[in-house]
Amino acid sequence: MTSFLYTILATLLYVLALPVLVYLRFKPKYQDSIPSRFFLRRNLPFPKSGIWFHACSLGEVRSILPLIESLRGEVVNVSVITQTGFKEASRVENAQIR
């Protein structure tokens, strides 16, 4: 019974959030990040080898940059959530960003 109520509540939440996502989709800041986050557009998988870092925000990306730069010659994978974090991580030469 609990899982049924949870499913109904989650479905209702998704339906209520859909207009907000559609609205945000047309704002320049979110044009790339909303489809990538929720619809897995252009989200390519990382190679199986290498070191993987995940950073949620710009600040987290900046905090791991010295570590990533010290790993020259290694395969480094970085996944991010925010568009600003993605732009900052893209500056690193030896990292594959997703």
**pLDDT tens digits along 46-93:** 677 888 888 888 899 999 988 888 888 888 888 888 888 888 888 876
Tens-digit pLDDT profile for residues 13-49:
989 988 887 888 788 877 766 766 666 656 667 677 8
Instruction: List the structure tokens of 24.
Output: 């945000």
What pLDDT shows up at residue 93? 66
Supply the pTM of this predicted model: 0.59
pLDDT of residue 48: 77
Residue 52: count other Cβ atoms within 10 Å of its Cβ: 14
Please determine, for residue 4, whether its predicted confidence score (pLDDT) is greater than 80. yes
| Torsion 79-80-84-89 (CA) sign | negative
Task: Provide the edge-to-edge strand list for the sheet that holds 76-80.
Answer: 51-55, 76-80, 95-97
